[in-house]
Protein backbone atom coordinates (compact mmCIF):
# COMPACT_ATOMS: atom_id res chain seq x y z
CA UNK A 1 0.00 0.00 0.00
CA UNK A 2 1.22 3.51 -0.74
CA UNK A 3 1.23 5.03 2.75
CA UNK A 4 2.88 8.27 1.61
CA UNK A 5 -0.04 8.83 -0.75
CA UNK A 6 -2.59 7.74 1.85
CA UNK A 7 -1.02 10.00 4.46
CA UNK A 8 -1.03 12.92 2.02
CA UNK A 9 -4.72 12.30 1.27
CA UNK A 10 -5.65 12.17 4.96
CA UNK A 11 -3.63 15.32 5.66
CA UNK A 12 -5.28 17.14 2.75
CA UNK A 13 -8.69 16.16 4.12
CA UNK A 14 -7.72 17.28 7.64
CA UNK A 15 -6.69 20.72 6.41
CA UNK A 16 -9.80 21.05 4.23
CA UNK A 17 -12.11 19.93 7.04
CA UNK A 18 -10.29 22.19 9.50
CA UNK A 19 -10.77 25.19 7.22
CA UNK A 20 -14.42 24.23 6.73
CA UNK A 21 -14.89 24.09 10.49
CA UNK A 22 -13.12 27.39 11.08
CA UNK A 23 -15.03 29.28 8.41
CA UNK A 24 -18.34 27.59 7.66
CA UNK A 25 -19.19 25.93 10.97
CA UNK A 26 -17.96 28.54 13.46
CA UNK A 27 -21.18 30.55 13.21
CA UNK A 28 -23.44 27.48 13.09
CA UNK A 29 -22.13 25.33 15.94
CA UNK A 30 -22.22 25.87 19.68
CA UNK A 31 -18.76 26.31 21.22
CA UNK A 32 -18.95 22.81 22.74
CA UNK A 33 -19.77 21.30 19.33
CA UNK A 34 -16.93 23.24 17.72
CA UNK A 35 -14.55 21.92 20.39
CA UNK A 36 -15.62 18.35 19.55
CA UNK A 37 -15.01 19.05 15.86
CA UNK A 38 -11.57 20.53 16.61
CA UNK A 39 -10.62 17.44 18.63
CA UNK A 40 -11.44 15.37 15.55
CA UNK A 41 -9.21 17.62 13.44
CA UNK A 42 -6.34 17.40 15.94
CA UNK A 43 -6.31 13.59 16.01
CA UNK A 44 -6.87 13.46 12.24
CA UNK A 45 -3.75 15.58 11.65
CA UNK A 46 -1.57 13.66 14.11
CA UNK A 47 -2.47 10.29 12.68
CA UNK A 48 -2.28 11.49 9.08
CA UNK A 49 1.32 12.38 9.88
CA UNK A 50 1.77 8.94 11.43
CA UNK A 51 0.57 7.30 8.19
CA UNK A 52 2.94 9.49 6.21
CA UNK A 53 5.72 8.44 8.59
CA UNK A 54 4.94 4.77 8.00
CA UNK A 55 5.36 5.36 4.28
CA UNK A 56 8.64 7.23 4.73
CA UNK A 57 10.00 4.50 7.02
CA UNK A 58 9.06 1.82 4.51
CA UNK A 59 10.70 3.80 1.71
CA UNK A 60 13.85 4.45 3.76
CA UNK A 61 14.25 0.75 4.37
CA UNK A 62 13.65 0.07 0.69
CA UNK A 63 11.19 -2.65 1.57
CA UNK A 64 9.82 -4.30 -1.60
CA UNK A 65 6.41 -4.06 -0.01
CA UNK A 66 5.64 -2.49 3.32
CA UNK A 67 6.69 -5.00 6.01
CA UNK A 68 3.60 -6.58 7.48
CA UNK A 69 3.67 -5.04 10.97
CA UNK A 70 4.65 -1.65 9.62
CA UNK A 71 1.84 -1.79 7.07
CA UNK A 72 -0.59 -2.98 9.70
CA UNK A 73 0.20 0.07 11.82
CA UNK A 74 -0.60 2.34 8.87
CA UNK A 75 -3.92 0.60 8.29
CA UNK A 76 -4.77 0.81 12.00
CA UNK A 77 -4.08 4.56 11.97
CA UNK A 78 -6.31 5.00 8.90
CA UNK A 79 -9.21 3.07 10.45
CA UNK A 80 -8.70 5.06 13.65
CA UNK A 81 -9.05 8.33 11.75
CA UNK A 82 -12.24 7.15 10.08
CA UNK A 83 -13.81 5.95 13.34
CA UNK A 84 -12.46 8.48 15.85
CA UNK A 85 -12.35 11.70 13.86
CA UNK A 86 -15.22 10.74 11.58
CA UNK A 87 -17.54 10.08 14.51
CA UNK A 88 -16.55 13.37 16.15
CA UNK A 89 -17.21 15.31 12.94
CA UNK A 90 -20.63 13.74 12.59
CA UNK A 91 -21.41 14.19 16.28
CA UNK A 92 -20.51 17.88 16.14
CA UNK A 93 -22.48 18.58 12.98
CA UNK A 94 -25.57 16.45 13.62
CA UNK A 95 -25.77 16.50 17.42
CA UNK A 96 -26.62 12.78 17.39
CA UNK A 97 -25.10 11.68 20.72
CA UNK A 98 -25.15 7.97 19.85
CA UNK A 99 -22.29 8.62 17.42
CA UNK A 100 -20.08 9.21 20.45
CA UNK A 101 -20.20 5.47 21.11
CA UNK A 102 -18.05 4.91 17.99
CA UNK A 103 -15.27 7.29 19.06
CA UNK A 104 -13.58 5.01 21.64
CA UNK A 105 -13.22 2.27 19.03
CA UNK A 106 -11.27 4.71 16.88
CA UNK A 107 -9.09 5.47 19.89
CA UNK A 108 -8.41 1.76 20.31
CA UNK A 109 -7.32 1.57 16.66
CA UNK A 110 -4.94 4.50 17.27
CA UNK A 111 -3.45 2.75 20.31
CA UNK A 112 -3.13 -0.52 18.41
CA UNK A 113 -1.40 1.36 15.58
CA UNK A 114 1.17 2.86 17.93
CA UNK A 115 1.87 -0.47 19.65
CA UNK A 116 2.17 -2.19 16.28
CA UNK A 117 4.56 0.50 15.07
CA UNK A 118 6.62 0.07 18.24
CA UNK A 119 6.84 -3.68 17.70
CA UNK A 120 7.65 -3.19 14.00
CA UNK A 121 10.48 -0.81 14.91
CA UNK A 122 12.42 -3.67 16.52
CA UNK A 123 12.68 -5.46 13.18
CA UNK A 124 13.76 -2.47 11.08
Q: What is the pLDDT of residue 66?
A: 60
What are the angstrom distances between the C-alpha of 104 and each of 14, 88, 91? 20, 10, 13
Return d(Cα 82, Cα 96) in angstroms, integer: 17
pLDDT at 65 over 70: no
Q: What is the pLDDT of residue 124?
A: 80
- Does the pTM surpass 0.85? The reply is yes
Q: What is the pLDDT of residue 64?
A: 58
pLDDT at 63 over 90: no
Return d(Cα 113, Cα 117) in angstroms, integer: 6
Q: How far is CA 80 from its chain centroid? A: 6
Sorted by sequence, the CB contacts under 8 Å of residue 78 that are 6+ apart come out as 6, 10, 47, 51
Amino acid sequence: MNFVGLGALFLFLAVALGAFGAHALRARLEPSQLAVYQTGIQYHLIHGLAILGVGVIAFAHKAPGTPSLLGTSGVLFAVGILLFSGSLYLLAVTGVRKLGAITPFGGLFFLAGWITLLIASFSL
